[in-house]
Structure 1
Amino acid sequence: MIPNDATRRSPTWPLALLLSLAVVAWFVYQRNHGLHPTVFADEWYYSRMARLVPLADAIVPSYLYLWIFGASASCGDGFLECVRAGNLAFYLAGSPFVYLTARRFTSAPVSFFLALLAALAPLNVYTAYFMPEATYYFGFCVLAWIALTRTGWHPVLYALAAGVVLGAMSLVKVHAIFLLPAIVPFLLYASWDRGGAWFLRGVLMALVATAATFAMKFGLGWLLAGEAGLSLLGPFYQGGVGGGSRLKLIAPAFINGRAHLAILTMLYGVPLAILLYELCTRSLRARGDARNLLHVFVFLTLGAAAGLTVVYTASLAAPGSNEGLRMHLRYYSFVFPLLYIVAAAAMHVRAPDAPAVREWPRLRWALVLVMAALLVFALLRLHTYALNTVDGPDIGGIDLTGPAGRILMALQLALLVTWAARKRIAAPLFVFVALPAALWAGHVGSDKYLQAHRPPGQADLAGKYVSSVVPRAERGSVVVAGDDMGLIMRAQFQIDHPDSVPMLLDKPGPLPEYLMPINKKWIVLLGANNSLPTSLTPALRTPHYTVVRLPDPDPALGRMPLSTEPDGKFVTKLEGLSHAEPWGRWSDAKQVVIHFAEPLPRRVGVVLNARAFDDNADLPFKATLGGVEKEFRIGWHLQEIGLHFDTDGSARTLVIEVPKPVSPAERGNPGDPRKLGIGIAEITITDGTRTVHAAR
């Protein structure tokens, strides 16, 4: 039972929280100020989508977030600092809702302490990034406050408010849609907890919340982005929804899932044990206790978000890759402050009129044994997983094999044993000792990681140089090449133009002739082991990057996107290509043949924006025009290649030979039997007859 003291109505603790948040805001702002961007591709994509292109062109349906932070364009070159200030405002705005939620389950001083811990948690590292995590966290804090403290509202209004907030969250991160399977059963439970004719009322509440969620998502999405706002997942995530047997995910999901359980046990073992015990013994047996609502809500939302995380990570697992071992805590760490509240709520005795429920001491010890096994796993194996600050700041900065990691594990085990022995001191010790210790350890590691990005990297310097010397009108004609896509995007972030072109090299070394841009004006080559033709005169050459002003591009004779039907005045016939898709077309034969309407110039340039499928990314393609054969390679991502052909001036047929056509059905997707090889988004033909580049 929560003490009925004078602090319930006193403004002292809310005012103290506001003052404390002001201090935290100053501290975090100073920490973030001047940092260079860190997370790629995310920061470049969100910056580009929010500030540089129409919302309808965004590849993820985060239209509300992009619309809000698109205002940072008014900050000029200081847009990133404005974004960080906005992130910080949204993040800290969640703490009052943590306080208000906690007040239903614990005293004002403890609620103040928990809200302050939430503000100082490693999760605040996301305020430094051009990413939506901080805004999404705020939305979840509001959703939890509604779900756990507004139960006295009219059932329809209660469900409507939850649905509207969830719908708005889905326009910040589409992942919110996958919380709906948690919210629906929670509303049914909340209706049962109210008593009376609960089932029909609960079904009505679930329907209202679901309808409100999608009405908000699609309605506001349409207002912000037009027809694109009517997409459920957006181009990026919709493209990642594939077929294949889900049974293949069981093994990688087990490998990844056990590590998540070990991390949760190491950081939040006591509240998790309390949560599971209460669910088994009380939540489905007794009405009228607010803590039951808390336990069910936390279990469902944490389970839905963490479950989605494990399945998503399992889908990325592949031989030779560590993607299946990455710990993406950021997809569910927004729930962690509610675990603080679970532990704090256990510090208080239940109301005298609460229904008596039989205790199960054996269940307590069984839970502790399972969690002890997970702690042993954490000690022995967790360090072999891919842990980093970006994916999970709560754990990424902790040395698991050093003193900090071992102390946290030992402390959690000791508190779990104390809890199993029914010692009430376990919950206070967790709240006031183990929890601050874990958060502090995560904070130290996160801060160290951020400070490493304060000095500019070589890619930052390359991008800044380009933005200082290349006119704004020409930055869309800049190609950034290198063998590290993260560094390429870092340079693009500094160039700050939506049409700068990335070029990922499959290995370090001299740039192949066919990768020299034909229709661009500048090239930035990153990497000490990469080199350009010596005939080019660099505008700047350093040991780590080279910037070159290219000769004027050849004039373009025609450009054909393959996402549409060909223009008969340019191309009369296509052979060996499948149906048009939003991005272009895949080949579905051994050869692709393109018949042009007119003979091509004697010296003709063919620019392909293309990508390879499966093993073809490691094999050479051959292109033939007018009896002249050229060899080229492309990777799995879309990239531009330029081929020059010297012909007799009568050639009008381009033939591309695919090295190894293979169907998705042979790779586990039975719904697609096409023999794919090369995907072509666009073809551009240039006339090089009058302009022969010395570099080519």
Structure 2
Amino acid sequence: MTTSRPAARELAWPLLLALVLAGVAFFLYQRNTGLQPSVFADEWYYSKMSRLTPLADSMLPSYLYLWLFGASSACGTGFLDCVRLGNLAFFIGAAPFVYLIARRYAGKPLAAAVALLSTLAPLNSFTAYFMPETMYYFGFCVLSWVALTGGDWRPSTQALASGAVLGLMSLVKVHALFLLPALCPFLLLASHQRGGAWLLRGLAMAALAAVLTFALKFGLGYVFAGKNGLSIFGYFYESTKLGVDRLALLAAASVNARGHLMTLALVYGLPLAILGHALGARLLSWRGAQAAAAHAPATARRELLHLYTLLMLGAAAGLTVMYTAGLHVPGSREGFRLHLRYYSFVFPLLAVVAAAAVAPGQATAGPRHPWLRWVLAALLGATLLLALSRLQGYTMNVVDGPDIFGINLAGKSFRILVGLQLLLLLGWAASVRLPGWAGTRLAPLLFVCLALPAAYAASYQGVGRHLATLRTPTPTDMAAVFTREHVPAAERGDVVIAGLDLSLMIRAQFHIDHPDTTLLSYEGFGPLAEYQLPLHKKWMVLLGDFTVPDEVLTLQRTPWYSVVRLPDPGTTLSRINLALPPDPAVLTGIEGLSRIEPWGRWSDAKQVVFHFARPLPRRVGVLFNARAYDVNAQLPFQARVGGVTKEFRVGWHMREFALHFDTDGTARTLAIEVPQPVSPAERGQPGDTRPLGIGIGEIVITDGSARVEAAR
């Protein structure tokens, strides 16, 4: 009986935490179920790469994530809710590791509070998206547990476990590879803390972790994707070109870094001060700190926590800043975007840092260098005051950084959070203790129990409102679902989605759920001419107030979208390749075209005329592959067959379009009127005086008299 009571007390807090986590999981499940997708193009690409195409064709080397979440196809049209269940399992599954980490530095109640806060953080919004963030977050929590508890293991075990977890993480998000330059120095310094022949042992540990990381990445990558799995960063990132002007890059990076620092100070100002003090005190009194660590295991553990958090936060945030700066170009706001999601997985460790400073006897609370506390508090306080006027100038959105997006930067809550952090920094610098609580530090305790929950609550107001808007389907969602339900499954690859907004078109792709759907952008709403309709496709989804020619069958028409069945192109009668001499059996002559070039021929007159050897069909289709020269790309052309004239426009780039003419069946000519022939010499290119207008690569003549109507 006596033995069972201590055991029950030992399990009380973990059991209570488990019950609370179950409640949080149920809340998040209820919140996420039934929401419409919203993050495009990310959610469509991850859905497509995991479920609809071979892993070898993935443009991202996230093979482990894609393979695992590809199983959501078993859920049919409800695959997105199944993905959200998987996200939730990984997100809640990370909390026990956060608890075990925090338990090394704080009592059970505080460790349980930190673990609970990790599930209430704005990061939980990613459980609603078809994205790998929650699985990656789970991996980082496991990696942190291995790194921070591995000091009690064999050195080789710690190194192998760290490398294995990091290698698997790199198959979820390739960004994990940039944590390796932080993990290796940590293992080296952790070896130093073990004592003995630390240097060779530490180098061996770092090398072992690095080798296993890449062995798993390339080995499993090859298993999943063959030779394509041997790419380090994958097609997408390897093809991304960042800025090369170093001065411009550094200038953009400094601007972006200030935004991140202001944001971190607003939410995690006190843990940043504690980390800064730990680092500064260690540098200022290296030998003394070394001696203290040798005689104080608790202090040594806290120093490893500070070191690990600094290295991981520095590596991930530094990569984020430089990547964002590389995307910035003059006139854009890319350099002002705050991509917190690229390092927000480190944030639970900042809460652990604060919890570790609550109990008495902490290295951060001693008399070492008290002036350093005041300097750090002053610097972070100035950053917070600067945030009051400057943080609003940065670009926030709910996916880049839910931690800051939900906070109204012009509202009262923002000023309250700034005031809370300023008071906590002041109390921390003055080493204020809680009377009657055995010297418990007040500022870290208030941070964990008051300031951090307040910041999460303020951010969740905006995040919650955003997610609530995803519960009602938009016209785009309804258009795509209607298409998926009414277009035969075998023909969904022949669907073209057209509109003005690329993100909405990709959103429709997500619902139609076929890898071969294509997109077509228009410049404005209104009636579409025949030549603007796509060729070689059967169905078209028009997002917006478009109208189509009368001969096109409309399956569904609303003020917000239309679904139409495109006319069949008809039977091909002849194909005229203008990069070759004309076939006399098809053409008896051509007027108004210049010399033959490898791609086709330019017009060199006001009018181009094709003379056919035989009369054209009564319902003749003329399919062009053409482009315009200079100002003609913005002017209307005219095509005439018999007595019927139709107007069309051609852009600068080669594209396909079609026109149909109803004639008396005796017409033998096709004439094209060029709006404004212009010579290259007139545009500053001496030597070419041809009056160019339209460049034609190919013409296809079809018989459309027996076309199949869409109703069939």
The TM-score normalised by the length of structure 1 is 0.82
TM-superposed CA distance for 1:357, in Å, is: 8.0
Which residue of 1 is the match for residue 683 of structure 2? Answer: none
1:511–1:410 Cα change, 3 Å = farther
Which residue of 1 is the match for residue 419 of structure 2? Answer: 410
Q: Which amino acid aligns with 2:538?
A: K
Distance in 2, Cα, partners of 1:557 & 1:227: 44
Instruction: Say if 2:357 and 2:364, in contact at 8 Å, map to a contact too.
Output: no
Whether 2:657 is the aligned partner of 1:642: answer yes
Which residue of 2 is the match for residue 547 of structure 1? Answer: 563
Which residue of 2 is the match for residue 302 of structure 1? Answer: 313
1:100–1:198 Cα change, 3 Å = same
Whether 2:168 is the aligned partner of 1:168: answer yes
Query: Which of these residues, 522, 543, 548, is aligned with residue 532 of structure 1?
Result: 548
Distance in 1, Cα, partners of 2:635 & 2:60: 32
TM-superposed CA distance for 1:248, in Å, is: 2.0
Whether 2:399 is the aligned partner of 1:382: answer no
Whether 2:608 is the aligned partner of 1:593: answer no
Larger radius of gyration: 2
Instruction: Say if 1:630 and 1:643, in contact at 8 Å, map to a contact too.
Output: no
SS in 2 for 1:10: helix
TM-superposed CA distance for 1:243, in Å, is: 6.4
Instruction: Say if 2:270 and 2:354, in contact at 8 Å, map to a contact too.
Output: yes
SS in 2 for 1:342: helix
Which residue of 1 is the match for residue 650 of structure 2? Answer: 632
Which residue of 2 is the match for residue 344 of structure 1? Answer: 355
Which residue of 2 is the match for residue 145 of structure 1? Answer: 145
Query: Which of these residues, 587, 605, 624, is aligned with residue 623 of structure 2?
Result: 605
Whether 2:538 is the aligned partner of 1:521: answer yes
Distance in 2, Cα, partners of 1:39 & 1:175: 19
Which residue of 1 is the match for residue 108 of structure 2? Answer: 108
Whether 2:207 is the aligned partner of 1:207: answer yes
TM-superposed CA distance for 1:215, in Å, is: 0.7
TM-superposed CA distance for 1:373, in Å, is: 1.8
TM-superposed CA distance for 1:138, in Å, is: 0.3
TM-superposed CA distance for 1:81, in Å, is: 0.8
TM-superposed CA distance for 1:620, in Å, is: 6.1
Whether 2:468 is the aligned partner of 1:455: answer no
Q: Which amino acid aligns with 1:633?
A: G
Distance in 2, Cα, partners of 1:72 & 1:213: 28
SS in 2 for 1:456: coil
Distance in 1, Cα, partners of 2:132 & 2:38: 14
Which residue of 1 is the match for residue 704 of structure 2? Answer: 691
- The residue correspondences of 1:189-208 to structure 2 (distance < 5 A) are 189-208=189-208
SS in 2 for 1:632: coil
1:246–1:355 Cα change, 3 Å = closer
1:641–1:240 Cα change, 3 Å = farther
Distance in 1, Cα, partners of 2:266 & 2:320: 18
Whether 2:506 is the aligned partner of 1:498: answer no
1:434–1:358 Cα change, 3 Å = closer
Instruction: Say if 2:578 and 2:600, in contact at 8 Å, map to a contact too.
Output: yes
1:221–1:620 Cα change, 3 Å = farther
Instruction: Say if 2:579 and 2:697, in contact at 8 Å, map to a contact too.
Output: no
Stretch moving more, 150-159 or 253-262: 150-159
Which residue of 2 is the match for residue 432 of structure 1? Answer: 449
TM-superposed CA distance for 1:401, in Å, is: 1.5
Q: Which amino acid aligns with 1:538?
A: T
Whether 2:19 is the aligned partner of 1:19: answer yes
Distance in 1, Cα, partners of 2:378 & 2:474: 47
TM-superposed CA distance for 1:267, in Å, is: 0.1
Which residue of 1 is the match for residue 460 of structure 2? Answer: 443
Give structure 2 stretches of 5+ with no counterpart.
295-299, 433-440, 581-595, 602-610, 640-645, 662-666, 672-676, 681-695
Distance in 1, Cα, partners of 2:23 & 2:559: 43
Whether 2:95 is the aligned partner of 1:84: answer no
Whether 2:491 is the aligned partner of 1:478: answer no
Give structure 1 stretches of 5+ with no counterpart.
560-569, 574-590, 652-656, 661-682
TM-superposed CA distance for 1:532, in Å, is: 3.3
Q: Deviations over 1:387-438 (max 9, x none)?
A: 1221111111110111111101110011111111122211111111101111
1:629–1:504 Cα change, 3 Å = closer
1:94–1:517 Cα change, 3 Å = same
1:687–1:571 Cα change, 3 Å = closer
Q: Which amino acid aligns with 1:393?
A: P
Distance in 2, Cα, partners of 1:79 & 1:246: 45
- The residue correspondences of 1:212-227 to structure 2 (distance < 5 A) are 212-227=212-227
TM-superposed CA distance for 1:624, in Å, is: 14
TM-superposed CA distance for 1:75, in Å, is: 0.5
Distance in 2, Cα, partners of 1:571 & 1:208: 62
Which residue of 1 is the match for residue 47 of structure 2? Answer: 47
Q: Which amino acid aligns with 1:317?
A: H
Query: Which of these residues, 349, 369, 372, is aligned with residue 363 of structure 1?
Result: 372
TM-superposed CA distance for 1:510, in Å, is: 4.4
1:619–1:46 Cα change, 3 Å = farther
Distance in 2, Cα, partners of 1:180 & 1:168: 13
- The residue correspondences of 1:173-322 to structure 2 (distance < 5 A) are 173-242=173-242, 244-282=244-282, 285-286=289-290, 287-288=293-294, 289-322=300-333
Distance in 2, Cα, partners of 1:128 & 1:59: 23
Which residue of 2 is the match for residue 679 of structure 1? Answer: none
1:557–1:77 Cα change, 3 Å = farther
1:506–1:369 Cα change, 3 Å = farther
Instruction: Say if 2:574 and 2:702, in contact at 8 Å, map to a contact too.
Output: no
Distance in 1, Cα, partners of 2:393 & 2:8: 47
TM-superposed CA distance for 1:182, in Å, is: 1.1
TM-superposed CA distance for 1:196, in Å, is: 1.8
1:452–1:339 Cα change, 3 Å = same
The TM-score normalised by the length of structure 2 is 0.80
Q: Deviations over 1:203-260 (max 9, x none)?
A: 1111111111111111111111111111111111111045623332112211111011
SS in 2 for 1:321: coil
Stretch moving more, 282-291 or 99-108: 282-291
SS in 1 for 2:211: helix
TM-superposed CA distance for 1:633, in Å, is: 3.2
1:445–1:355 Cα change, 3 Å = closer
TM-superposed CA distance for 1:197, in Å, is: 1.8
Aligned residue-pair number: 625
SS in 2 for 1:689: strand
Instruction: Say if 2:573 and 2:703, in contact at 8 Å, map to a contact too.
Output: no
TM-superposed CA distance for 1:386, in Å, is: 1.3
Instruction: Say if 1:37 and 1:453, in contact at 8 Å, map to a contact too.
Output: yes
Instruction: Say if 2:117 and 2:453, in contact at 8 Å, map to a contact too.
Output: yes
Whether 2:346 is the aligned partner of 1:330: answer no
Q: Which amino acid aligns with 1:212?
A: L
Distance in 2, Cα, partners of 1:629 & 1:509: 16
